[in-house]
Amino acid sequence: MDNNGEKTTTIIHTLRDALLHFAVKSKKLASPLLEPFGRATEPTTVNDDELMALKSKLRRIRATLRDAESLSVTDCSVQLWLAELGDLENRAEDVVEELEYESRRSAQLEELKQDLLYAATTRKQRREVALLFAPPPARRLRRKIDDVWARYEEIASDRKTLRLRPGDGGCAPRPAASPLVPSSVLPRTERLHGRHGDVERVAALVLGDPDGGTSYAVVPIVGMAGVGKTALMQHVCGMETVKSCFELTRWVWVSQDFDVVSVTRKIVEAITRSRPECGELSTLHELIVEHLAGKRCLIVLDDVWDDNPSHWNSLTAPLSHCAPGSAVAVTTRSNKVARMVSTKVYHLKCLSDEDCWLVCQRRALPNSGANVHKELVEIGERIAKKCHGLPLAAEAAGSVLSTSAVWEHWNEVLNNDLWADNEVKNLVLPVLKVSYDHLSMPLKRSFAFCSLFPKGFVFDKDLLVQLWTAQGFVDAEGDCSLEAIANGYFNDLVSRCFFHPSPSHALSEGKFVMHDLYQELAQFVSGNECRMIQLPNSTKIDESSRHLSLVDEESDSVEEINLSWFCGHRDLRTFMFIARTEQNPEEMTFRTKIPSELITGFECLRALDLSNSNIMELPKSIGSLIHLRFLGLDNTAIQMLPESICALLHLQTIKLNHCSSLTQLPQGIKLLLNLRCLEIPHSGIKMPSGIGELTRLQRLPFFAIENEPAGCTIADLNELVNLEGHLHITGLNNLDGAQASIANLWNKPRIKSLTLEWSGVTNFSKSLCDPQGNAVSCISDSQHPAISATADQVLNCLKPHSNLEELSIKGYNGSFSRSWLGWLPLDRLASIELKDCRNCKEVPPLGCLPSLKHILIQSLPSVKLIGPEFFGNAGDTTSNIRSRICNVFPALKSLKFSNMEAWEEWLGVKSEHFPNLKYFSIVRCSKLKLLPKFTSEPKLKIRIR
């Protein structure tokens, strides 16, 4: 038996022993929980040590299965057996989680239960609370454990029936033939449509000066599979201007199996035109130096996959002996490879629709010339648009069209799913799947999950990261957070051209798209694991499906979709409703019924996303989904969340963006200690006390400070040290300086964007005093000096970390000058907005901020003069910052003023100020008499009224 066969046998035996031990152990461990639940004063628990041992056993099963996934098992029966064991692993994981949950639920939820019983005013309400926190029937847990055991026995029996002996189903003795066709320097076609500009630019790079201290230039060409990298480089090598500049041009097809010695042998063979007899790397290097020394050479390394820098350095070591002006061109699908070999990367983009049609036409009608029937051209152009600029797809579409050059056939191809055609799949998918095969197992699972989304969908990076984390696709690595690791997964897929930034969104928005063919690949590799159903059509799904999405193709449909026919799929882990376009709940006519029994039936659900549906109420039965990690309700008409949601102790993400009807959060939300993301719809929502106990929170866009005993206080914010991204704090009018200092913003380095908002009416729980110590009676008057002084103290005590990049201050009634000095330095601040600061008589000294690019000053009605203080020259500020900056507003690109009714003069602008200003806007500043002159000559927008 070979080594691979022995490894497979070891995996099979390990799985068998581990699952047998798991079944026995889980039955023993669950026995206290399977007793009839009575009125015991002490909660029923299990032994923590035994529970940890069981979880350790589950990790061993999972690790063994991951090893099996990495093997190339050829026996179909063993492939099926391993797949069934993977399914059994999921069920075993559910059992462990439920055991853990039931052992802790009573103690963790007892406080909430007592609070709700105290608040209940009727017998019916108290009965509902009692039922809400009642443990599930013992038979459910018993059934799950018995199912795991019975399923294991069935799988073991099947193995005996199939006569699968130890060693059966071993790995293939040699890898399957690659779907990639080796390339050479000779192009397949004489004409390269739509690439004239690319050919010229790459040729210029090949003939250009080297970088990085080497004697030769390295030109990486990167792009997705099938975009034409190889064809482009073939035509560059064929240009007379290129051939005449090199004494030697050699082409080496590297491909997937990268080994330094074997690739070096290929280079030697290409240079010497003979197969080298030696296998020592040192000797091979000497042969390369012997033949290339002093010559100006062009070496093309086509289809490079390996991104190990040491491998690259070893491979290219002999090339330093080439004559100056030599070049190495590299084609690759990986941005990581491209950045490894050079800092100057050439990204090859997709073709235009017109050029795509020319590629398609060349294959569909090879001998037609210009005499093509107009009707065929019109259909062909529409088919070519489906290729989204990918030459490989255009050639495949042309092959399908070439079978019959008649209108009926072409129209049929147009109206059907082009990528469902077997011929297209056979031509395209194997080439794309090579990219998938190179992914690690976590990336494979993450990519396959994307098959739940329709073609043309705009992916939100953060949403995918949250879903991947919820499903357990992310492998923990040291102290890194799961979100950071999942972000790395996504960036890796972007680097390998699986995703591309959405052209209709700014890069900072984190929106990405996937080519239709990659979407088709995701559906192919996911098999029955993931299933997407396009509504309003209803299709019976396979019970083996674990992840399900419903895509609303007709957003204006008035048909009522009854989801009750999904009930019974107890092993489902994802249930998502996906709308093509986001709508306001008030405008939606699409009606979706969410039966209560549907929620209860999804016992194993990890992710539930009902965003963009018009659901108005979640059933209380959602509290039974104890495995739930992700709950998406964005852009819905939801009015409240049931308290039962607070029993979902594994919940990591709650998304409530654009839920304008929601007014408050459940009182018991503080129990969700695993919560990492709480995205709430607006700053006016009532937040209960205890939010500070959610110390794992990373995303909390809004934080509303309440002035009520049961409301959220600034002390809650103190404990949330892991917050990142954007934070909008409202209700600052309810604070004094001492309270504001408790927020501890300076100790939250991952907050990049901060909004501080005061409302028009101040309402303190204790009396305010003016600077002389006299009590203030009318604290609602925003003009009172004590109010201004307090606001000044609050702002000064809310100093953020120096990593802050965006700042917005709204409704502030203090003075900027003294508070602002306490905030410096903010060397990374790139954007600032000052809005509705009614009492502020001067603007803060912003000119001293070296990274500031955008300023918006709006509705400061008390400002009459902007003078030198704006540039950072007020008081002793100059002496502090003069050594740190070379000029005023060195990076500013955009400056906007709006609604400055009292502004009359702007003084102190000098020629060296605003050196990079591109856009200047001044709107409704009717009293301003004179504008300064800018040496940078920005684009102006001036509207007096």
509-562 pLDDT tens trace:
899 999 999 999 999 999 888 999 887 665 666 677 889 998 876 655 444 555
Whether the upstream peptide bond of residue 135 has omega within 30° of 0, thus cis, is: no
Region 348-369: what's the mean pLDDT?
89
| pLDDT confidence of residue 35 | 44
415-467 pLDDT tens trace:
887 777 777 888 888 889 989 988 988 999 999 999 999 988 999 999 999 99
User: What is the average pLDDT value for the chain, to the nearest integer?
Assistant: 80
Q: Which pLDDT band, with edges at 50, 70 and 90, does 314 fall under?
A: very high
Amino acid of residue 793: Q
| pLDDT confidence of residue 163 | 42
Q: Which of the two residues, 564 and 788, has the higher pLDDT score?
A: 788
Instruction: Indicate whether 589 pLDDT > 60.
Output: no
| pLDDT confidence of residue 785 | 67
Q: Which of 69-83, 331-345, 691-705 has the lowest mean pLDDT?
A: 69-83
Q: Which residue has the tokens 């009965």?
A: 127
Q: Which residue has the tokens 């907005």?
A: 833
108-139 pLDDT tens trace:
666 666 766 766 667 766 666 666 666 665 56
DSSP helix/strand/coil, 124: helix
Q: Which pLDDT band, with edges at 50, 70 and 90, does 175 fall under?
A: very low
Q: Which pLDDT band, with edges at 50, 70 and 90, does 647 fall under?
A: confident
Look up residue 613 and give its two tokens.
């549906």
Instruction: Indicate whether 343 pLDDT > 80.
Output: yes
Distance CA 849, CA 881 (A): 9
Return the CA Rg of the chain: 33
760-781 pLDDT tens trace:
654 444 444 444 444 444 444 4
Q: Which of the two residues, 40 and 167, has the higher pLDDT score?
A: 167
DSSP helix/strand/coil, 269: helix
| pLDDT confidence of residue 778 | 42
DSSP helix/strand/coil, 871: helix
CATH class for the region spanning 195-347 = alpha beta
155-192: string of b/e by CB count within 10 Å (b at 16+)? beeebeeeebeeebbbbeeeeeeeeeeebebebeeeeb
Distance CA 101, CA 155 (A): 28
Region 653-668: what's the mean pLDDT?
90
In terms of Cα–Cα distance, which of 608, 600, 621, 666 is closest to 639? Answer: 666
Distance CA 671, CA 111 (A): 9
Q: Which of 10-14, 516-520, 531-535, 752-756 has the lowest mean pLDDT?
A: 10-14
Q: Which CATH number fits domain 447-688: 3.80.10.10, 3.40.50.300, 3.30.390.30, 3.40.30.10?
A: 3.80.10.10
Q: Which of 207-211, 575-579, 684-688, 869-873 has the lowest mean pLDDT?
A: 869-873
Element (H, E) at 234: helix 229-237
Q: Which of the two residues, 47 and 863, has the higher pLDDT score?
A: 863
Neighbours of 484 (CB within 10 A): 13
Q: Do the beta carbons of residue 178 and residue 255 sit within 8 Å?
A: yes
Same fold, 195-347 and 447-688: no
Label each residue of 660-679 as H, E or C. CCCCECCHHHHHCCCCCEEE
Q: Do the beta carbons of residue 630 and residue 467 sit within 8 Å?
A: yes
Q: Which of 6-10, 189-193, 264-268 has the lowest mean pLDDT?
A: 6-10
| pLDDT confidence of residue 553 | 66
Query: Which of 12-16, 60-64, 231-235 tops mean pLDDT?
Result: 231-235
Region 813-824: what's the mean pLDDT?
74
Distance CA 608, CA 613 (A): 12
733-748 pLDDT tens trace:
988 888 998 999 999 9
Amino acid of residue 351: L
Instruction: Indicate whether 67 pLDDT > 60.
Output: yes
Going from N- to C-terminal start, the domains of the chain cover: 49-168, 195-347, 353-438, 447-688
Which pTM does this prediction carry? 0.84
| pLDDT confidence of residue 79 | 64
In the DSSP assignment, the letter for residue 699 is: B
787-809 pLDDT tens trace:
778 888 899 889 999 999 999 99
Q: Which pLDDT band, with edges at 50, 70 and 90, does 874 fall under?
A: very low
Q: Do the beta carbons of residue 704 and residue 684 sit within 8 Å?
A: yes
Q: Which of the two residues, 556 and 195, has the higher pLDDT score?
A: 195
Give the percent of the chain with pLDDT over 70. Answer: 73
Q: Which of 7-21, 366-380, 433-447, 676-690 has the lowest mean pLDDT?
A: 7-21
Q: Which pLDDT band, with edges at 50, 70 and 90, does 356 fall under?
A: very high
- Calculate the alpha carbon distances from 804 to 302, 487, 719, 745, 837 in Å: 44, 21, 19, 10, 21
Q: Which of 123-137, 302-316, 909-923 has the lowest mean pLDDT?
A: 123-137
Q: Which of the two residues, 760 and 83, has the higher pLDDT score?
A: 83
| pLDDT confidence of residue 181 | 83
Region 633-647: what's the mean pLDDT?
88
Question: What sign does the CA torsion over 362, 366, 369, 373 have?
Answer: negative
847-860 pLDDT tens trace:
888 899 999 999 99
Q: What is the DSSP string of 721-757?
A: TT--EEEEEE-GGG--HHHHHTT-GGG-TTEEEEEEE
Region 860-874: what's the mean pLDDT?
83
| pLDDT confidence of residue 736 | 87
| pLDDT confidence of residue 562 | 55
826-841 pLDDT tens trace:
889 999 999 999 888 8
| pLDDT confidence of residue 559 | 47
